[in-house]
Structure 1
Amino acid sequence: MTRVIGWDLGGANIKLACVDGERVVSVAQIPCPIIPERRKFDAAVEAALPSIALPGSHAVTMTGELSDVFNDRVEGVAYLVDLMVRTVGAQKLLIYAGRAGFLASEDAKLRPMEVASANFHATASLVARHHGDGLLVDVGTTTTDLISIKAGKVAARGATDAKRLTEGELLYTGVVRTPVMAVARSAPFRGRVQRIAAERFATMADVWRLAGDLPDDADPYPTADQRGKSPVESAGRLARMLGRDAGDAELAEWIALARYFGDCQLAEIEHTARNLAERDALSPDAPVIGAGCGRFIARRLAERLGRPYFDFADMLDVAPEAREMAARCAPAVAVALLASTSP
């Protein structure tokens, strides 16, 4: 197998990567329409097709089966598999099933719990080919994956989302869509600590945008109040979390507040990472491997843990113009590269 298109079908966006042999040629991310209908996946896949210049084999992983447009994950897996069968036609199609490897489409529908949300395993499996020991930290728009690599093997104890949440290998915290109220219940402001509103007035995109860390194109979604994404508008949403208006303080004060909330999110991830490193007896020099649009958090985490840091893209033979997106869309890249060497 030479040319492979890797697909990561998420509920918020579709990611795809084209690899030729072991070289990553191109990577793209297409937001799903924000509509409460299944056809949002069809529309996003159709929009992604122009990114594929030539036919090739296709490897698919997914998290979109968790979308509330489906009654359950079994129904979601079946729908997304059928969508890809229609999309690729006569071209070869492989569905990733975590520890079970790649399955044919009909087999995948018979084993939905292995297919569901297995994209983390694809990324970790590729990392394990390059790092004998390490901690993969993939920080995305909505979630953070933390996966130990031991002796060149994926050391994750969880395979399902439920088990991974139990084991601390999946955190529902990301740098864009996560509501600010999910990372803190109170905040310091002008010499006092006050409670914050339990309302989705602002998201972590506002926090990291104000802090100056969020890449400009990492947030394709509407804001909480449907307004713009300037620093002043982000400050207005953050002020509302404190029951205030942006004009009640200088922009520098809202930036300081944003950094506080960012530290709260990093602290949660650090706490979980330390527990995993202890649980899995990772050596002190085992590196943190960062992926996702929020991997600036992974870099800071490595500093706090006193560990070396490697970027996911450092492992790849990737076209320079595709390097940034390859790191953001790690599961799509990983499933394509894994499939390119699959029998």
Structure 2
Amino acid sequence: MTAIIGWDIGGAHVKAARAQDGRLTGIVQIACAPHEGLASLERAIRDARERLGPAERHRVTMTAELSDAFENRAKGVLAVAAIAAREIGADDILFYAGARGFVARAEAADAALAIASANWRVSAELAAQNCAEALFLDMGSTTTDLIPIRDGRIVAHGASDAERLACGELVYAGFARGAPQAYAARAPINGQWIPLVNEAFATMADVRRALGDLPEGEGGADLSPTADGRPKTIAASRARLARLAGRDAGALSDDQWRAFADFLARAQLRVIEDQIALLFSRGAVASDAALIGAGVGRKLIARLAQAQGRVFIDFADFIAAEPQVKEKAADCAPATALALLAA
């Protein structure tokens, strides 16, 4: 039986999925920080390979080329491809170049801009094979992809990050990373509208933790360090969020801080809702199309679908695997899609 590993090599995480005979057998997600040194990326790939075991075929997509470790995206693609080939150490390794398909490492220079940040498309390809009419949303830790599907085909207008940002198919609104004040300049606190401090005091992970959408402790959907280096607890998250309002955590009640976090979470979801409305306004998908949700934030997409009276389809439903593998695999949609499509 031929084993295949799909790799999604990002600037914050390395995700890898292993499949045999069209069934997913393993999934790993490991934090990395290439902007602090490429050794971090190398270690994460080695660790993932060791944890998943050997495989005859490897298929790779990436977003790590966006890291400021590299002078530009093209040089980043070549560097990440070289690291992947060396650390994976397999003869059969191909790189995903979006609509162009798979290319060998020797073709990476010519296909660099097609390889760059093409991971969104491979997830949408698997979704389109399973649902002919839908808006596919992959809410990861940092961004949300919005990809229209009609007649079983991807009908996105953008290909590069710049194009996708311009046409509403990519938004920097993720489940855990990113600044809450990016979505709201002020918030209601204790009966007043308070301007928020534009400093890196907290992340969306603190918002999720304060609302109970993210558990305390390390792991899961939040593998990045906290803004202040303190623990990943509800109390510490409230303290970080309080600094955005120029306060200490003890200044307000638990209910008031929860209301603050809820306002920030809703502000972020409104940004995603606006992009959904934009895509429907251009007729990108049928007016009654379902929403397909992938990524660590897909439960939030399910809430949006319910609020809009739309059918919600979980990306996990497209994955043949044991339940515990399936759930984690849906969090890592591009790696999973690579492994299954290659099979």
Band of TM-score, shorter chain: over 0.9
Query: Which residue identity lines up with residue 88 of structure 1 in the other structure?
Result: I
- The CA distance in 2 between the partners of 1:78 and 1:282, in whole Å, is 35
Query: Which residue identity lines up with residue 321 of structure 1 in the other structure?
Result: Q
- The CA distance in 2 between the partners of 1:97 and 1:33, in whole Å, is 23
Q: Is the 8 A contact 1:117 1:160 kept in 2?
A: yes
**2:8 alignment partner in structure 1:** 8
Structure 1 unaligned residues grouped into runs of 5+: none
Say whether residues 1:267 and 2:270 are aligned partners.
yes
- 3-state SS in 1 of match to 2:132: coil
Q: Which moved more, 1:119-128 or 1:87-96?
A: 87-96
**1:89 alignment partner in structure 2:** 89
Query: Which residue identity lines up with residue 236 of structure 1 in the other structure?
Result: A
TM-align CA RMSD: 1.4
**2:62 alignment partner in structure 1:** 62
**1:47 alignment partner in structure 2:** 47
- The CA distance in 2 between the partners of 1:335 and 1:227, in whole Å, is 36
Say whether residues 1:213 and 2:216 are aligned partners.
no
- The CA distance in 2 between the partners of 1:52 and 1:98, in whole Å, is 25
- 3-state SS in 1 of match to 2:109: helix
- 3-state SS in 1 of match to 2:8: strand
Instruction: Give the Å deviation of 1:215.
Output: 5.1
Structure-2-length-normalised TM-score: 0.96
- 3-state SS in 2 of match to 1:318: coil
- The CA distance in 1 between the partners of 2:28 and 2:90, in whole Å, is 23
C-alpha offsets along residues 282-330 of structure 1, whole Å, 9 cap, x if unaligned? Answer: 2233211111111122111111222100110111111222012111000
**Aligned mate of 2:256, from 253, 258, 272:** 253
Q: Which moved more, 1:215-224 or 1:251-260?
A: 215-224
**1:319 alignment partner in structure 2:** 322
Q: Is the 8 A contact 1:38 1:70 kept in 2?
A: no
Q: Using a 3 Å threshold, how does the CA distance of structure 1 residues 253 and 100 change in structure 2: closer, same or farther?
A: same
Instruction: Give the Å deviation of 1:79.
Output: 0.8
Query: Which residue identity lines up with residue 325 of structure 2 in the other structure?
Result: A
Q: Is the 8 A contact 1:19 1:25 kept in 2?
A: yes
Q: Which moved more, 1:44-53 or 1:154-163?
A: 44-53
Q: Is the 8 A contact 2:46 2:88 kept in 1?
A: no
**2:233 alignment partner in structure 1:** 230
Q: Is the 8 A contact 1:232 1:251 kept in 2?
A: no
Aligned length: 340
- 3-state SS in 2 of match to 1:252: helix
Matches within 5 A, 1:12-161: 12-33=12-33, 36-161=36-161
Structure-1-length-normalised TM-score: 0.96
Q: Is the 8 A contact 2:140 2:297 kept in 1?
A: yes
Q: Is the 8 A contact 1:13 1:29 kept in 2?
A: yes
C-alpha offsets along residues 63-87 of structure 1, whole Å, 9 cap, x if unaligned? Answer: 0000000111111100111112213
C-alpha offsets along residues 243-267 of structure 1, whole Å, 9 cap, x if unaligned? Answer: 0000001112101110010000011
Instruction: Give the Å deviation of 1:191.
Output: 1.1
- The CA distance in 2 between the partners of 1:258 and 1:307, in whole Å, is 26
Q: Using a 3 Å threshold, how does the CA distance of structure 1 residues 239 and 131 change in structure 2: closer, same or farther?
A: same
- The CA distance in 1 between the partners of 2:33 and 2:114, in whole Å, is 27
Query: Which residue identity lines up with residue 27 of structure 1 in the other structure?
Result: I
Q: Using a 3 Å threshold, how does the CA distance of structure 1 residues 160 and 35 change in structure 2: closer, same or farther?
A: closer
C-alpha offsets along residues 227-253 of structure 1, whole Å, 9 cap, x if unaligned? Answer: 111111111111111100000011121
Q: Using a 3 Å threshold, how does the CA distance of structure 1 residues 68 and 33 change in structure 2: closer, same or farther?
A: closer
**2:298 alignment partner in structure 1:** 295
**1:279 alignment partner in structure 2:** 282
Q: Is the 8 A contact 1:284 1:307 kept in 2?
A: no
Query: Which residue identity lines up with residue 337 of structure 2 in the other structure?
Result: A
Instruction: Give the Å deviation of 1:33.
Output: 4.2
Q: Which moved more, 1:246-255 or 1:45-54?
A: 45-54
Q: Is the 8 A contact 1:148 1:280 kept in 2?
A: no
Query: Which residue identity lines up with residue 201 of structure 1 in the other structure?
Result: F
Q: Is the 8 A contact 1:19 1:336 kept in 2?
A: yes
Q: Is the 8 A contact 2:136 2:146 kept in 1?
A: yes
Identity of aligned residues (%): 44
Instruction: Give the Å deviation of 1:109.
Output: 2.4
C-alpha offsets along residues 269-291 of structure 1, whole Å, 9 cap, x if unaligned? Answer: 01111111221342233211111
- The CA distance in 2 between the partners of 1:280 and 1:164, in whole Å, is 16
- The CA distance in 2 between the partners of 1:221 and 1:104, in whole Å, is 32
Query: Which residue identity lines up with residue 155 of structure 1 in the other structure?
Result: V
Instruction: Give the Å deviation of 1:121.
Output: 0.3
Instruction: Give the Å deviation of 1:214.
Output: 2.3
- The CA distance in 2 between the partners of 1:57 and 1:47, in whole Å, is 18
